[in-house]
Amino acid sequence: MTAPDVIVIGAGFAGLAAATALVERGARVLVLEARPVPGGRASAVRDAATGETLDNGQHVLMGCYDDTFRFLARIGTPDRVHRQAGLAVTTIERGGRRSTLRLPPLPAPLHLLAGVLAWDALSWREKVSVMRVGAAVTGRDRHTLPDRSGAAAVTVYDWLVGHGQAPRLIELLWEPLALAALNQPIGVAAADTFIEVLSRTFGPDAERASLVVPAVPLDELYAEPARAWIEARGSQVRTQARARVRVEGDRVVGVDVRGETVDAPVVVAAVAWHALPGIFAPPAPPALGDLLPRAAATDSSPIVTVNLWYDRPVLDEMLVGLPGRAFQWVFDKSVVFGRGTSHLSLVSSGAADIVALGNEALVERATREVHDALPRAAAARLVHASAVRERRATFSLAPGQPARPGTETGVKGLLLAGDWVDTGLPATIEGAVVSGHRAAAAITRRG
Ligand SMILES: Cc1cc2nc3c(=O)[nH]c(=O)nc-3n(C[C@H](O)[C@H](O)[C@H](O)COP(=O)(O)OP(=O)(O)OC[C@H]3O[C@@H](n4cnc5c(N)ncnc54)[C@H](O)[C@@H]3O)c2cc1C
């Protein structure tokens, strides 16, 4: 490849979205990824015992992930997902009561109103109080903005209580939603990002709230197709290529990688907050100001996934919510992938309390919770189990965390992408892809 116009460091969703958007606009791009495969925090790994390709954790997209679906359409994989027609979520309460929240295909806010009114898990009083949050989030009518005043300084829990939400309603509805979206306990995460998520999710129509589950492992959904798409157009993705940015004065001049220097006038650093300080040789370029100390001071929040394989089907649905448990969601990968037996993936978001447990203890906890909720699983034979810990799955959204950075930096030619960049969204695929698209747009604007 001749000298690149742009080097992208990091081949997660953000880096690959940025790279494909730039290639689409005619740029020659070199993507450098430190790990042996692209994918970053949304990647596939091989399970030694079963030979199956597993995701490093179950990922769910939502109907409102506009930039993500644009990216998948660009690389030719938008059909490799199962998409619900409108939101439908079954939950099993700790006492065993099963119910389904279903949003009918009506315009907002009628879909939320009708869905909540029909949800038999809630009392009338609870149904009415859900609508208080609905009104605060969507604006009562087209002329009212969502109520975000002071929301960055209070936790999700305090905000919900302040909007009249009773403890049972919080446990049954808001906590699982917030944990899934923010990956942090509701008593820790700030409310502003949650309000943004709710206003996008329960925004104009029911389709935007629908859950979208990858129908293939994550490497087949985007990482390898994006690499192939980029390379078919004369640009390049190099793996096992840990990069360091070269800055002269206040301008980027290229990167050092595997003992080689590659010149480029523009570099996009699409790495996670904790990796950002490591892509500069010390001392850090003064033009970056306090960017690197802010990145280093940002806390992380873990996710734990336990995979359980049974000798027969134990669930008929793609996913079920288990409110009030350590593992808040159970997915049946076999239902998604169309296989006869059951491979359950149990997800614990905001998992700081259990991430230090050993594999055996994690599997025991997950098995206990799933057997309690699903009698068919308790009656089946567990044939294999594994646990995956992602200690730095997402950045912390707690009040008082360092401010998130923008796309531009103080170093000319150096842009940032990655879910940590301030898109207003939590650490999600959509946040990562939006940040990548923003970096590509900023570069294209400059010409
Ligand atoms: C277990 C788990 C479950 C999740 N579930 C969901 C979900 O259901 N829905 C959702 O929307 N989001 C989910 N997320 C969040 C989502 O995965 C992330 O927000 C997204 O993948 C972040 O992408 P990124 O490109 O910003 O960063 P990353 O994926 O972290 O990519 C950064 C890349 O940079 C590379 N890198 C770092 N330093 C260097 C260097 N010096 N040189 C070269 N390369 C370097 C890294 O190896 C990495 O590949 C989940 C995350 C985890 C961990």
CATH of the domain at 136: 1.10.405
Out of 176, 205, 234, a domain closes at 205
> Who has greater pLDDT, 106 or 180?
180
Q: Is residue 94 part of a domain?
A: no
Distance in Å, CA 270 to ligand 1 centroid: 9
Please check whether residues 319 and 374 belong to one and the same domain: yes
CATH of residue 323? 3.90.660.10
Please check whether residues 36 and 166 belong to one and the same domain: no
Distance CA 388, CA 21 (A): 32
Please name which of 396, 399, 401, 394 lies closest in space to residue 428, comparing C-alpha atoms: 394
Band of pLDDT at residue 309, cut at 50, 70 and 90: very high
Q: With a 6 A CB cut-off, is 271 part of the ligand 1 pocket?
A: yes
- The pLDDT of residue 389 is 96
- The pLDDT of residue 92 is 95
- The pLDDT of residue 365 is 98
Please check whether residues 335 and 349 belong to one and the same domain: yes
Q: With a 6 A CB cut-off, is 35 part of the ligand 1 pocket?
A: yes
- The pLDDT of residue 256 is 97
Please check whether residues 320 and 279 belong to one and the same domain: no
Answer whether residue 356 shows pLDDT above 80: yes
Answer whether residue 391 shows pLDDT above 70: yes
Residue 12 near residue 433, CB atoms below 8 Å:
no
Q: Is residue 56 part of a domain?
A: no
- Ligand 1 atom, smallest distance to 16 CA: 25
Out of 380, 395, 410, a domain closes at 395
Treating both helix axes as pointing N-terminal to C-terminal, what angle do 110-118 and 124-138 enclose, rounded to 10 degrees? 160
Choice among 23-27, 161-165, 223-227 with the minimum mean pLDDT: 161-165
Q: With a 6 A CB cut-off, is 418 part of the ligand 1 pocket?
A: yes
**DSSP classification of residue 403:** P
- The pLDDT of residue 141 is 40
- The pLDDT of residue 134 is 77
Encoded tokens for 441: 């747009």
Residue 268 near residue 415, CB atoms below 8 Å:
yes
The pLDDT tens digits for 246-297 are: 999 999 999 999 999 999 999 999 999 999 999 998 899 999 999 999 999 9
Distance CA 103, CA 115 (A): 5
- For range 81-86, the mean pLDDT: 87
- The pLDDT of residue 316 is 85
- The pLDDT of residue 133 is 84
Please check whether residues 310 and 432 belong to one and the same domain: no
End-to-end CA distance of the chain: 21
Q: Is residue 270 part of a domain?
A: yes
Please check whether residues 320 and 307 belong to one and the same domain: yes
Encoded tokens for 213: 């589950």
Answer whether residue 212 shows pLDDT above 80: yes
- The pLDDT of residue 390 is 97
- Chain centroid offset of residue 109 CA: 25
% of residues, the chain, pLDDT over 70: 96
Q: With a 6 A CB cut-off, is 279 part of the ligand 1 pocket?
A: yes
Mean pLDDT of the chain: 92
Out of 184, 205, 226, a domain closes at 205
Distance CA 58, CA 38 (A): 17
- Ligand 1 atom, smallest distance to 432 CA: 26
Please check whether residues 403 and 287 belong to one and the same domain: yes
Q: With a 6 A CB cut-off, is 390 part of the ligand 1 pocket?
A: yes
- The pLDDT of residue 139 is 59
Q: Is residue 1 part of a domain?
A: no
Please name which of 266, 224, 244 lies closest in space to residue 4, comparing C-alpha atoms: 266
Strands (E), 341-399: 342-348, 382-395
The pLDDT tens digits for 35-76 are: 999 999 999 988 888 888 889 999 999 999 999 999 999 999
The pLDDT tens digits for 99-156 are: 999 988 887 777 888 888 889 888 988 888 888 887 777 654 434 445 666 889 999 9
Q: Is residue 59 part of a domain?
A: no
> Who has greater pLDDT, 84 or 80?
80
Long-range Cβ contact pairs of 129-134 (< 8 A, separation 24 or more): 129/163, 129/164, 129/165, 129/166, 129/169, 130/165, 130/169, 130/173, 132/163, 132/164, 132/165, 133/160, 133/163, 133/165, 133/174, 133/198, 134/109, 134/202
Please check whether residues 342 and 385 belong to one and the same domain: yes
Q: Is residue 75 part of a domain?
A: no
Please check whether residues 330 and 262 belong to one and the same domain: no
Our count of domains for the chain comes to: 3
Q: How many CB atoms lie within 10 A of CB 48?
A: 8
Please check whether residues 189 and 108 belong to one and the same domain: yes
Pairing of strands 300-310, 342-348: antiparallel
Distance in Å, CA 42 to ligand 1 centroid: 5
Residue 107 domain boundaries: 102-205
Q: Is residue 96 part of a domain?
A: no
Q: Give me the count of residues in the chain.
A: 447
Distance CA 398, CA 437 (A): 26
**DSSP classification of residue 248:** E
Please name which of 40, 34, 37, 35 lies closest in space to residue 436, comparing C-alpha atoms: 40
Helix (H, G, I), strand (E, B) or coil at 409: coil
Q: Is residue 317 part of a domain?
A: yes
Answer whether residue 17 shows pLDDT above 50: yes
Most confident of 129-133, 410-414, 442-446: 410-414
Cα 108 to Cα 104, 117, 135, 331, 378: the distances in Å are 10, 14, 11, 28, 40
Residue 23 has, within 13 A of its CA and on its CB side, a CA count of 26
Answer whether residue 440 shows pLDDT above 90: yes
Distance in Å, CA 276 to ligand 1 centroid: 13
E strand or H helix at 435: helix 429-446
Encoded tokens for 364: 């025991």
Q: With a 6 A CB cut-off, is 428 part of the ligand 1 pocket?
A: yes
Candidate of 61, 414, 420, 428 to mutate for ligand 1, largest count of ligand atoms within 8 Å of Cβ: 428
CATH of residue 403? 3.50.50.60
338 exposed, middle or buried (CB, 10 Å; 0-12, 13-18, 19+)?
exposed
Please check whether residues 281 and 423 belong to one and the same domain: yes
Please check whether residues 293 and 306 belong to one and the same domain: no
Q: With a 6 A CB cut-off, is 392 part of the ligand 1 pocket?
A: no
Answer whether residue 205 shows pLDDT above 80: no
